[in-house]
Structure 1
Amino acid sequence: MVRLPLTPAEVERGRRLGALLRGARGDRPLVATALDAGVSPETLRKIESGRVATPAFSTVAAVARVLGLSLDALWTELHTPAAPSDVRQPVEGASDRLVS
């Protein structure tokens, strides 16, 4: 079976998923989270870093369950266009404020 290369959108969605899971994990140890979810720590590390852009649904569901995340909320977040929150634009009198 030949796997087609990922599209840029799939790669970006994988990065966003990783960031969401990493943020939800907070200070909880990666190893404990992975073992509680039944996945290897290396798999979780790769997902969080965006190196696995399309993890198996069962893996995402298991990690989300351990972290108390709703799959509906994850889906919504991943399929909402990324906000340009990383783009800072100078605004007169408010140089530290984000503009969208």
Structure 2
Amino acid sequence: MTEPKERLVQWLRDAHAMEEQAETILSGQIERLENYPEIRERMNTHLEETRQQAKRLEQCLDRIGDGSSTLKDAGGKLIAFGQNISGIFAGDEVMKGSLASYTFEHM
């Protein structure tokens, strides 16, 4: 494998793992937004966008003959699970979740 291809595969795998992590975070937040229907609706839209992005990244990896990294995907989901658990204990979870999501999205 050439160095540029190796870098591309690594980047695509990292991006896929981040989308998997974002899906887990969004799903956890959405479950707890029953009192905020407008935010919940927008987050559901964002969740679908995130799933589509993950699917497109998988297709890119398939086209170049590689796949996503199970280890990276699992690690991202584990971190997201911890983030979701920590949100349960916050009295102002909607605000903290919004700030965390905004920051994560722009990384």
TM-score category, normalised to shorter length: 0.3 to 0.5
What TM-score do you get using the length of structure 1 for normalisation?
A: 0.35
Which structure has more helix as a fraction of its residues?
Answer: 2
Of the two structures, which has the highest relative contact order with CA contacts closer than 8 Å and spacing of 6 or more?
Answer: 2
TM-score with structure 2 setting the length: 0.33
